[in-house]
Structure 1
Amino acid sequence: MVPPAGMIPAVNYELYMGEALAEARSAAARGERPHGAIAVVDEAMVARGHDRVLETDDPTAHAVVMALREAARRVGVDRLRDVTMFCTMEPCPMCVGALLASDVEALVFAVPNRADGAAGTMLQLAEHPSLRRRVKVVSGIRRDEVEELYAASARP
């Protein structure tokens, strides 16, 4: 699904989701859950991340959090409001909370998270009307490819 004009910054959804998919494959190759994320500012990839929970013994080392931490180091906290975050799976409540706390502009994900998705599938935190901050959401980009990766992985 490509968003209507003006909804989120005009970027190459297919390209950046492909990069997130590459990160997910990297995570899978390391025995982690196959989740990947890419932070984009003004058509430039500023950060990459994949799940590193097992590697770091850190339960918060999800792909979105890893990419967000790297983006903050590279572009500064003040520029995070310009970030569009691409991730292979709809983020969990912790990750959506991190996006909201960082004032990230937009989120693009490939597949819904039917366990604890917090951008519309199980919960709607990303665009909740009662919250002061909101993250614009687009879903379904390269969905089939990501579903194939998850089907082939022992750790969805």
Structure 2
Amino acid sequence: AEEALNANEIPVGCVLVCKATEKVLAKGRNRTNEIKNACLHAEFDAIEKLTMVIPADQIGWNSIKLYVTVEPCLMCSSALRQIGINLVYFGCSNDRFGGCGGVVSIHNNPNLIFSQALIAFGGYRRQEAIILLRKFYITENTNAPVPKKKTGRMLKLEIPDF
């Protein structure tokens, strides 16, 4: 996450760890601005790095746990379930896009047809994660789009009947 912060990215970092040996298999961080790819979240970066070393079809995804500084978003929570990672530890909740209970519970939704549920535990080094996010958001985000001015808009108070 600190690497992401130093690269002017939202400071989210993660590691993929073998459950049996506790060996770190791959590390990832947000690279959305750097690579100009909105999907390159820390989880995807780590998964991509691991598949560059071991072919994806030879990885026992359910033998891997993931540690990430911020609760996986909706997209990442779904992807983790689809590939078979079933254990996640995250630092702080993602109150805008969280997929492990922060906004939506994709991690354990029984109506999703792919793989087993994703067990997610929040609060792992939570304060550190929040401080890193605050350090990022207190500065000017040079990669953020220019906000549109809200001029010439009128508040419509009349609501039509059905």
Compute the displacement of 1:74 (Å). 3.1
Is the helix fraction higher in 1 or 2? 1
CA distance in 1, matches of 2:136, 2:111: 37
Answer whether contact 1:110 1:139 (CA < 8 A) is retained.
yes
| Structure 1 counterpart of 2:16 | 39
Q: Contact 2:64–2:87 (CA<8 Å) still a contact in 1?
A: yes
Q: CA deviation at 1:105?
A: 2.1
In the alignment, is residue 119 of structure 1 matched against residue 96 of structure 2? no
Matched, 1:48 2:17: no
* 8 Å CA contact 2:31, 2:42 repeated in 1: yes
User: In the TM superposition, what whole-angstrom CA distance separates every residue of 1:83-125 from its partner, at most 9, and x where no partner exists?
Assistant: 1011000011111111011100211101000001000110000
Alignment of 1:5-44 (within 5 A): 24-41=1-18, 42=20, 43-44=22-23
| C-alpha contact (below 8 Å) 1:96/1:126 kept by paired residues | yes
Q: Tell me which residue corresponds to 1:13.
A: none
1:102 corresponds in structure 2 to: 83
Number of equivalences: 132
Aligned to 2:119: 136
SS at match of 1:145: helix
Q: What's the secondary structure of 2:17's corresponding residue?
A: strand
Higher RCO (C-alpha under 8 Å, 6+ residues apart): 1
Unaligned runs of 5+ in 1: 1-23
Which structure 2 segments of 5+ residues have no match? 142-162
**CA displacement at 1:76 relative to structure 2:** 3.9
* Structure whose CA Rg is larger: 2
- 3-state DSSP of counterpart to 1:67: helix
Change (3 A) 1:73 1:105: farther
Question: Normalising to structure 1: TM-score of the pair?
Answer: 0.79
The answer to whether the 8 Å contact 1:46/1:74 transfers is no
Query: 2: CA distance between counterparts of 1:74 and 1:81?
Result: 18
Instruction: Give the aligned CA root-mean-square deviation in angstroms.
Output: 1.3
1:14-40 deviation digits (Å, cap 9, x = unpaired): xxxxxxxxxx01001011110001000
Using the aligned pairs only, state the percent identity. Answer: 25
